[in-house]
Structure 1
Amino acid sequence: MNENNMKNFRNPDAILDVYEKPEFAQGVLLSLQHMFAMFGSTVLVPILIGISPSIALLSSGVGTLVHMLCTRFKIPAYLGSSFAFVATMQALMKTDGYPAVAQGAIAAGLVYVVVSIIISQIGSAWVNKVLPPIVVGPIIIVIGLSLATTAANDAMLKNEKYDLTYFGIAIFTLVMTLIFQMCFKGFTSLVSIMLGIICGYLLSCALGIVDFSGVQKAAWFSLPALDVPGISYHFKWYPAAILAMAPISFVTMTEHMGHIMVLNSLTKRDFFKDPGLHRTMLGDGLSTIIAGFIGGPPTTSYGENIGVLAMTKVHSVYVLAGAAVCAIIFSFVGKLAAVIESIPMSVIGGISFLLFGTIASNGLKILVDNKIDFGEKRNMLIASVILVIGIGGAYLQLGNFQLTSVALSTIIGMILNWILPKQSASEKALEEKNKEKKEGKIYQ
């Protein structure tokens, strides 16, 4: 599909395609649904490393809009706080504080920018060669299912202990979402995820497990806690932080490409070609640089929001842009941010069962659509290794540098696709034997 055809193309499976605008009232609700989906993870990262959640909301909203500008508003992606850097950021916060984290985040973003420049020169044709459907499908399954444990823990655990009430709320949230999705039509079905979250939240309130103390303390208007180099603190070089965080960018790049592959499948487009992988990388890098300059954690594209896109079939970039604007507004409205922050993780876990599973199902869809033959030994071996390493949580640790299970399985999958022959020795022998039979050289 050339660029002109891409502009005129409409995905017949989409309720709202990439360039289509919803009505204003519907758009607001659809955008809020996306914000609810990403909120838990986006604010959890700053909580884990000890910075303000409001600044993470601001940086995610601004970063998403910057990403959209870089990609010419062609990709419906949302950028939130990245978990890949958490362990390193926690260590840096203990030794040097946020200034070191900021410098590491900016360095990580610059790596993206440099890589985007290189890709703009050499092109992205290599992507389809190193990431064929037999590699892409299992990787997308891994992206979804590697988050399954997180969803289950959120749904079941209260203070790291199993809680039946929490699990009941998660299942109730999931069931209500499925009811809204399957038993209703029109706009109610489109906002089924948000309605499910609201139902789960109301049940949590009725059962008395929602902590409203944060809402009571929060001001209606509060400026996010900005940490700007040279203003909030004196500038100082932190080479150890740069060396610790910059290499992690190569890990998140593989996850970034995985998410683009999922979006390609959902929207029936090739974003590697239009607007181009170099633009998606540039957008991700600039978003992380901005986050480092204003006091937030590094950002990355979010699987939660891709799950919402898959569930609702609403792929409009305007909806994702609206979610970014909502996040920016909520970062200044203390009460509203505190209400969302008070949503129990069991509610988020119940929704995540559906969202993460939907991502994995799209990986299966790629394998089916491309008619991948698992009777071929090569295909079976590549898929098997990717799935077990990725879903099993295997990772490579070298000092402070960690190659996550998603990144490791992606790299190993690409290597296997490169080195394994198209046929095994036994398959070749069988083919030769069948050929000889057909030619009449072997008589039975």
Structure 2
Amino acid sequence: MVKKEFRNPDALLDVNEKPKVGQGLLLALQHLFAMFGSTVLVPILVGLSPSIALLSSGVGTLVHMALTRFKIPAYLGSSFAYIATMQALMKADGYPAIAQGAIAAGIVYVIVALVVAKIGSGWVDKVLPPIVVGPVIIVIGLSLATTAANDAMLNNSKYDLKFFGIAIFTLAVTLFFQMFFKGFTALVSILLGIIFGYLLSCLVGIVDFTPVIKGAWFSWPALDLPGISYKIKFYPAAILTMAPIAFVTMSEHMGHIMVLNSLTKRNFFKNPGLHRTLMGDGLSTIIAGFIGGPPTTSYGENIGVLAMTKIHSVWVLASAAGLAIIFSFVGKVAALIDTIPMPVIGGISFLLFGTIASSGLKILVDNKIDFSKKRNMMIASVILVIGIGGTYLQIGSFQLTAVALCTIMGMLLNWILPKKAANEVSE
């Protein structure tokens, strides 16, 4: 007897379901626009080529999908965790040092993936129960709230009422199409919000089309290849500073997988396996290092799109990755997308990041977590304040980010605290 394949009843398009070609293209563009700002911002801050970041993002996503047997609807973009280290390395030794550090970080992922493949991932459910997972997912969403707010309000670090108006207009249009329309129009509400926000930005004169006019229709991304673009040299400092950061991004990656588990009603830690998703992320970062891009990681923006639209199809995410690769060779298109003003991205992010946080609340509700119990209250409280407050652990050049720190604290408290406080009345 053939076992019937599971289908998530909450999804409009489940993980392996294909959209129609035209619809799939628009849905893919929606994902591309959602991640574009952050993915190209990292190389801009570091001094790398945005087109390479776009290329490594697309290639890395497809590699991750292949390693995970096209079972996980995840998109990989440029990682923010390495920015400070990359900026320092760029000033000292240039991109070759960053490349070597990125490759080393990817190798750390691969090693951990091989260890997990050997020992299994049964421990994940024990160290990450709902009382830890729910608040961590809330943190993942709300820790990005300041980014969304700054994008919506600030013009060159100064408050701009015009920017704020565009952000609220973009948000309002997105909500309007999401709530008052049915069918495909509702599914592409994020894309429509971006388009209308962009048009308003053009009308008020904050869009600069100079890069589009000067951009070439076809241009090879500025690849930085070891042994071809530069001489191979050993950079121990780069390896020692970037490789440990992989453990930080691993915890964030696992947090994103937890969100996807909740959205898709699956357990990706078991199938296709945590070792496969870590391996895919590691190989993606290694490839980025070899071609001249920044390290990659899974993206909260795209998870927000999945949560809001209920379109969980890997075909849509793979198409977005394909478009990213194509656009990395089309200068004018990449430049056009790059002209999308930050308040437009900020307006959309209000909804996307909030949707991720709401997914964490849903986990707590679905699992009937009882907050009258002190143990649950203590664990959730510590995770939320450490994570949302931006508390981090700094030891030399190594930094444990707020998301990673609150996850570790949550796991430790879940392990250490007794089931019942000494002063609680027995039921």
Q: Corresponding residue for 1:402?
A: 399
Q: Corresponding residue for 1:209?
A: 206
Residue 262 of structure 1 aligns to a residue in which SS?
Answer: helix
Q: For 1:213-245, what per-residue CA distance to the aligned partner results, in whole angstroms no more than 9, with x for missing partners? A: 111110000110100000000000000000000
CA distance in 2, matches of 1:41, 1:337: 14
Give TM-score scaled by structure 1 length. 0.95
Q: Corresponding residue for 1:81?
A: 78
CA distance in 2, matches of 1:399, 1:78: 31
Residue 300 of structure 1 aligns to a residue in which SS?
Answer: strand
Q: Corresponding residue for 2:225?
A: 228
Answering whether residue 413 of structure 2 is matched by residue 416 of structure 1, we say yes
Matches within 5 A, 1:352-367: 352-367=349-364
Answering whether residue 163 of structure 2 is matched by residue 161 of structure 1, we say no
Q: Which amino acid is 1:413 matched to?
A: G
Q: For 1:92-114, what per-residue CA distance to the aligned partner results, in whole angstroms no more than 9, with x for missing partners? A: 00000000000000000000000
Q: For 1:362-407, what per-residue CA distance to the aligned partner results, in whole angstroms no more than 9, with x for missing partners? A: 0000000000000000000000000000000000111111100000
Q: Corresponding residue for 1:291?
A: 288
2:9 to 6, 9, 12: 12
CA distance in 2, matches of 1:399, 1:104: 17
Answering whether residue 39 of structure 2 is matched by residue 42 of structure 1, we say yes
Q: Corresponding residue for 1:181?
A: 178
Answering whether residue 152 of structure 2 is matched by residue 152 of structure 1, we say no
1:141 to 123, 138, 142: 138
CA distance in 2, matches of 1:28, 1:347: 21
CA distance in 2, matches of 1:289, 1:223: 21
Q: Corresponding residue for 1:252?
A: 249
Q: For 1:173-195, what per-residue CA distance to the aligned partner results, in whole angstroms no more than 9, with x for missing partners? A: 00000001001110000000000
Q: Which amino acid is 1:212 matched to?
A: F
1:30 to 21, 27, 31: 27
Q: Which amino acid is 2:57 matched to?
A: S
CA-based RMSD of the aligned residues comes to 0.8
Q: Which amino acid is 2:403 matched to?
A: V
Q: Which amino acid is 1:253 matched to?
A: M
Answering whether residue 347 of structure 2 is matched by residue 350 of structure 1, we say yes
- The number of equivalent residue pairs is 426
The runs of at least 4 aligned residues of structure 1 exceeding 6 Å deviation read: none
Answering whether residue 346 of structure 2 is matched by residue 315 of structure 1, we say no
Q: Corresponding residue for 1:93?
A: 90
Gaps of 5+ in 1: 435-444
Q: Corresponding residue for 1:302?
A: 299
Matches within 5 A, 1:315-334: 315-334=312-331
Q: Corresponding residue for 1:380?
A: 377
Residue 423 of structure 2 aligns to a residue in which SS?
Answer: helix
CA distance in 2, matches of 1:354, 1:61: 24
Residue 229 of structure 2 aligns to a residue in which SS?
Answer: coil
CA distance in 2, matches of 1:93, 1:102: 10
Answering whether residue 142 of structure 2 is matched by residue 108 of structure 1, we say no
Q: Which amino acid is 1:143 matched to?
A: I
CA distance in 2, matches of 1:338, 1:388: 39
Q: Corresponding residue for 2:272?
A: 275
Q: Which amino acid is 1:290 matched to?
A: I
CA distance in 2, matches of 1:152, 1:289: 33
CA distance in 2, matches of 1:60, 1:169: 28
Aligned-pair identity in percent equals: 80
CA distance in 2, matches of 1:225, 1:199: 32
Give TM-score scaled by structure 2 length. 0.99
Larger radius of gyration: 1
Residue 378 of structure 2 aligns to a residue in which SS?
Answer: helix
CA distance in 2, matches of 1:286, 1:68: 11
Q: For 1:59-107, what per-residue CA distance to the aligned partner results, in whole angstroms no more than 9, with x for missing partners? A: 0000000000000000000000000000000000000000000000000
Q: Corresponding residue for 2:192?
A: 195
CA distance in 2, matches of 1:401, 1:194: 38
Q: For 1:130-181, what per-residue CA distance to the aligned partner results, in whole angstroms no more than 9, with x for missing partners? A: 0000000000000000000000000000000000000000000000000010
Residue 171 of structure 1 aligns to a residue in which SS?
Answer: helix
Q: Which amino acid is 1:109 matched to?
A: G
Gaps of 5+ in 2: none
Q: How far did residue 18 of structure 1 move?
A: 0.2
Q: Corresponding residue for 1:240?
A: 237
Residue 8 of structure 1 aligns to a residue in which SS?
Answer: coil
Q: Which amino acid is 1:104 matched to?
A: G
Answering whether residue 65 of structure 2 is matched by residue 68 of structure 1, we say yes
CA distance in 2, matches of 1:401, 1:296: 21
CA distance in 2, matches of 1:211, 1:48: 19
Q: How far did residue 50 of structure 1 move?
A: 0.3
Residue 425 of structure 1 aligns to a residue in which SS?
Answer: coil
Q: Which amino acid is 2:222 matched to?
A: A
Q: Corresponding residue for 2:259?
A: 262
Q: Corresponding residue for 1:126?
A: 123
